[in-house]
A and B are shown apart, each in its own frame.
Chain A
Amino acid sequence: MSSTSNIHSHSHAASPDSKSGQPQGEVTYKEVTDTVLKMLEPPKAGWYLLLGFMLLLVGIGAVAWTKQILMGIGNAGKSHPIAWGFYITTFVFWVGIAHSGTLISAVLYLYRARFRMAIYRLAEAMTVFAVLTAGLFPLIHLGRVWFFYWLMPYPNQRALWPNFRSPLLWDVFAVSTYLTVSATFFIIGLIPDIAVARDRAKTTFRKVLYTITSLGWSGSNKQWKHFSAAYLLFAAFATPLVVSVHSVVSWDFAMSIVPGWHATIFPPYFVAGAIFSGVAMVITLAVPMRRIFGLQRIITDVHFDAMSKLIIVTSAVVGYAYITEFYVAWFSNNPFERAQFMYRISGDMAWAFWIMFTCNVIAPLPLWYKPLRTYIPFLFVLSIIINIGMWFERFNIIAQSLAHEFVPYSWGGYNFSWTDWGILVGSFGWFGMQMTLFVKFFPAVAICEIKEIMDPPVRNAGALGHH
């Protein structure tokens, strides 16, 4: 009897309505290996076109940034009274995108949610690349980017140290820790899968690449034992980071006295919003990847249903937060807060508020209807709508609040510039370029962990008992 047939006969193959997230139908270990490694085969014209498009966007961003560096920060749209405008909005947007990666990879790992296995690698890659993108924005925002190292505490001849009481410095620590830990978690998880690719590499370049990056992983019992222990600990470290990073980002605003920012609700509101946008981005990426690489039996309806439910929950939380902000402004009887929130819904940038509310609260409501949670075209479009809404959420918080502070004399609007838009487009290109390269060079679906949730092949049924 071959192992393959035995896997068939003994695997408790998941039915389409299974909640396990296990690959559907009679999937074998070999099929998992082959399906995922097929993604790494030499790219076709479509991939080069996509990469070329991403590079074009990066080029647009690079031109815009170079122009800003040469001509000065006045080239960007930010100006009095909105000194934090487009760039900080985009920074918070990308940090938010990063969040659900850690949620799916770490938090759901601790909860033993088996459905995460097929999508967590993609989500983790998204996290790392989104943080790498987000990290550029405070630097772009600085104007004189070459002085970025002034943010770091290092001994210097002026005997100056950064202000550790400032939330902006907390943010430097939070985001750099997040990048380090999430990148480590991501790379560690990749090692056993790179070893699978190494053992099946067909070209010398790939063989050398995977031999070096797999670090000589062999999958011995000793390695798996310490790997599993370390992986659990990484998940345990990454989980509080999910909560802390966006809380710290929210304190960049909430610690100030600006009406519309000074709110205790900000940390949970930001964390929920981040997870909301991140899950939407996972769907945006997973839908084309699943179709292009034929991963329908690995990334199944179960996964889309679970992600849709996460969207429903987080959409409800952000919707609740939006309404609470208005309630608190009214209930506090603070005239500045009241004026700020009236301005948001009826001022000259009210369109941004209504785009946000429609995209983030109204648009996800159809997901309560179960068939739509697995209707892929709808999910794909919705995921893009949500991320448009989430960008505008941050724009609302930042630009609208600064536009309408305490003194009417200093009220003003935001003048969008082509430099702003160019850099935003460039950031999508930068993120997309990294994702495009990643899916062709490294396993974008976790091979070993998918095998882990499949029932192992046994000669005698029941030999392992229930596990």
Chain B
Amino acid sequence: MKGTKAVVGVFSFFDDTLKAIENAKAGNYEYRVYSPFASHHLEDATLPGKSPVRFVTATGALTGLVSGFALAILCSMDWPMRVSAKDVVSVPGFVVIGYECTILFGAIATLLAMFHFCRLPDILRKVGYDPRFSDDKFGVVVSCGGEEVDTVVESLKRAGADEVEVRDAL
């Protein structure tokens, strides 16, 4: 958050939270929303579009596919012993290794991508966080300059905030 102040609005109602988001967007303010659960309404209102996690996942999965086959083929060629009349490079048998490595690498890539895009781990939580946001309240935190604080406070109250608090942004 770039502003010098963080104005935190605590909401009990979901539609009020959406209204506060619209107000922040209309005022061209930088904002963040906290919610106790994932909601497609919030996602549509704040960050429409698809998450880039999927590209990392696809890259990881393809790497896994190639690595799995490469591992099985190269190891077999390094010790070229024919077993049970099967080819040294037995592609049907190696499909299982390729398949499992596709999933393994894809899942690990997804995990790393999620950590990267969610900025985790982040033990020192964000400015404006309130423990109630993990229970039954929604939070809209608007970043602004000191001279805009009153306007933002008013806008959050108008949207239906239960409480509005001004904090120093870091």
Contact = CB atoms under 8 A, between A and B. Distances in A.
B99 interface: yes
20 contacts: A33-B136, A153-B75, A161-B76, A164-B76, A165-B84, A165-B94, A180-B104, A198-B134, A216-B121, A219-B133, A221-B35, A221-B43, A223-B120, A233-B53, A234-B110, A240-B99, A240-B103, A448-B38, A456-B39, A458-B15
A159 B34 CA distance: 55
Given A164-B75, A173-B100, A464-B41, A215 B135 contact: no
A2 interface: yes
B8 to A, nearest CB: 13
Contact of B34 (A6, A220, A244, A456): A220
Given A164-B90, A220-B33, A233-B110, 14 more contacts: A30-B136, A164-B94, A165-B94, A181-B107, A192-B134, A216-B125, A217-B118, A218-B34, A225-B46, A226-B113, A234-B110, A449-B37, A458-B13, A463-B14
Contact of A218 (B37, B93, B122): B122
Nearest to B87: A165
Contact of A164 (B97, B103, B110): B97
A221 B42 contact: yes
Contact of A248 (B96, B124, B131, B137): B96
B72 A164 contact: yes
Contacts of A4: 136
Contacts, number: 216
Given A29-B136, A164-B94, A228-B43, A184 B33 contact: no
Interface of A: 2-4, 6-7, 28-30, 33, 153, 159-166, 169-170, 173-174, 177, 180-181, 184-185, 188, 191-192, 195-196, 198-200, 211-212, 215-230, 233-234, 237, 240-241, 244, 248, 448-449, 451-452, 456-460, 463-464, 467
A216 B104 CA distance: 26
B3 to A, nearest CB: 17
- Among B39, B84, B99, B100, chain A packs the most CB atoms within 10 A around the CB of B100
A3 to B, nearest CB: 3
- Among B39, B71, B86, B107, chain A packs the most CB atoms within 10 A around the CB of B107
Given A159-B78, A218-B122, A225 B51 contact: yes
Contacts of B39: 224, 452, 456
Contact of B114 (A165, A180, A196, A227): A227
Interface string B19-46: 0000000000000111111111111001
Contacts of A162: 75
Contacts of B46: 221, 225
Contact of B90 (A153, A159, A165, A220): A165
B155 to A, nearest CB: 17
A452 B37 contact: yes
B53 A211 contact: no
Contacts of A451: 36-37
Contacts of A28: 136
A230 B110 contact: yes
B79 A159 contact: yes
Given A164-B97, A181-B107, A216-B124, A221 B50 contact: no
B57 interface: yes
A377 B139 CA distance: 44
Contacts of A248: 96
B114 A224 contact: no
Contacts of B125: 216, 218
- Among A33, A211, A457, chain B packs the most CB atoms within 10 A around the CB of A457
Nearest to B126: A218
A184 B36 contact: no
A68 B118 CA distance: 48
B170 interface: no
Contacts of B90: 164-165
Q: 5 shortest A-B CB distances, which residue pairs?
A: A3-B12, A229-B51, A199-B131, A463-B15, A216-B122
B54 interface: yes
A226 B114 CA distance: 6
Contacts of B32: 220-222
A163 B36 contact: no
Nearest to B125: A218
Contact of B79 (A160, A200, A458): A160
Contact of B36 (A29, A153, A225): A29
A221 B71 contact: no
Contacts of A30: 135-136
A237 B122 CA distance: 26
A221 B33 contact: yes
A181 B102 CA distance: 11
A173 B96 contact: yes
A459 B13 contact: yes
B9 interface: no
A368 B8 CA distance: 55
Nearest to B120: A215
B125 to A, nearest CB: 5
A220 B117 CA distance: 12
A244 to B, nearest CB: 6
A219 B129 CA distance: 9
